[in-house]
Amino acid sequence: MFRRDDARQRPVHPLRRAGAALALLASACGGIGPEAAAELGTTRQDVTPDPAGWRAWTPEPTNSGGWTGGPAVCQALTPSGDGTAIVGRSANNNRYRISMRQFFVEATAFADISIFTTFNSKPACTSLDGVHTLDQGLWNYQIAVLGKSAANNQFLIKTMKLDTEPAFFGDPPTLPTTVVNWTSINGNAYASAPAAAVSQAALLVVGRRSDNRLYLHRNHLSILLPQTPFDNSAWDPVLQLPALPSGWTAAGDPAIADTQPLIGVVTIVTRATRSGFPSRLYYSLFDAASSSFQAWAQVPITPSTVNVGSDPALEVDRGLGLATLYFRSGTNCATSACRVFQSSGIANLWGEFTQIFDNIPGHSDTFTDAPGAIGDLGLEPHHMVVARNSSGQFIHNGTNVNIP
C-alpha cells in the first residue's frame, strides 16, 4: 500500500525505518513467523504530541435526536486533501447519519444515510482507498459504512463516493453520494457491531457472534476499476478467530486496523470479561498472506489505576509506524468521571496509557461509550478522537505529532 507521505514531505522517523526493515525481513521469510513477530515486538514509543498537545474537547453540532452508542470516524481522501467522516446512530430513529469535516471544521451538517434501514449497533467506517497506488488515476475516493441490521442482526454495508471537486476555503466538500446501497454481506447474525479496515487491497470486516467468538470477512477490492472497487460477491469464506484464553469471553465491539501494511498484517482488539475479574483487552494479528491468526495476547494496561471501561478503538500513524489504542476508563459514569485514555506502540507493544486531558479550565465532561479514532491524517489534526458525552452528543479532540 502506498500513501501520500511524499506529498507531505515528512522526514522518515528512525522507528519507521526500523519497522520497515523488519517488515521486509518478515515478508522475505514468508509472513509473520515467530522470530519476526518477536523482533517486531521489542520496541515501543508513545505518541509525542506537539507542544500544544491534545487541543480541547470540542462539541460537534447537536443532533436533534441525540446519539446512541459511540461514533465511527474514517479518513475521507479527496484530490484536495485529507478530510474526515463522522458517522453515528441517531437515538430517536436508529438511522445512521454522517458529517464531513475539513481540519477541525465541520464541512457538512449531519444528514441521514439510512432512511428505510435501521440499526441496533454503532456504525463502522473505513476508506476504500487503502488500495492506493502512486497513480492517482486509480484512486476510488470511496468510503464504506457498515452496521448491524435491526431487522435480522446481519452486517449491512453501504459504499459512497466522496466529493472530488477541488475544495478551497469557502468551498467545502458536500456529502458523499451512494455507490452501493445497503446490502447484507452474508446471512450470518452477529451480536456486536462490525469493525472494518482495508489492507492489501482487501476490505476486512470483523464481528462477534452469539457464541462469543470473533469472525473475519475479507472482500477483495478491485484496483483496476476505481469506480467500482467493491463487489459484494467477492467475499472469501468466513474465518474464525482463535478462542480467547481459558476463562475469558469476548464482549462488546471489536476494533481492527492495518497496523503493518508492508507485510499485510492487521491487528484485531477485543474487550474480554471473566467473572470476578476486571475487563481486559486482548489482541490478535491476522496475516493476509497465510490467512492465519496469531494467538490472543493480553494488552498490558499500565498504570494499574487505569481500568478498561469500554470497548477499544484502534488507529495507525504510518509516518511514525505506530498504532494507537484508545478506550474509556471508568465503570460508573453516572457518578464519577469517565475519561478517554490512549497509548501508542510498534507492532502492538503499547506503552503507558495516559488520559487525553481537556485543556479548557473548569471543563469536566465525562464519556458514556467507546471512542472512535482516526490517525494518519495529512493535515491538522493528524490524530482525531470522537466520543459521546454525558449529554448524548459527540465531542472531539485532536493532535499533531512531532517527528524528530
Region 272-285: what's the mean pLDDT? 96
Among 86-100, 155-169, 226-240, where is mean pLDDT lowest?
155-169
Question: What letter would DSSP give residue 30?
Answer: T
What is the DSSP pairing of strand 322-329 with strand 195-199?
Answer: unpaired
Q: Is residue 148 a contact partner of residue 121, using CB atoms and an 8 Å limit?
A: yes
Place of cell 462477534: 208
Edge-first strand listing for the sheet containing 124-127: 124-127, 142-148, 154-161, 177-189
Dihedral over Cα of 344, 348, 349, 352: its sign: positive
Residues recorded for the chain: 404
* Count of C-beta atoms within a 10 Å radius of residue 228: 13
**pTM value?**
0.85
pLDDT, tens only, 305-355: 899 999 999 998 877 778 999 999 876 665 567 889 999 887 678 889 988
Phi-psi region of 263 (alpha: psi -120 to 50; beta: other; left: phi over 0): alpha
Phi-psi region of 212 (alpha: psi -120 to 50; beta: other; left: phi over 0): left
What is the predicted pLDDT for the residue at 134?
59
What is the predicted pLDDT for the residue at 83?
82
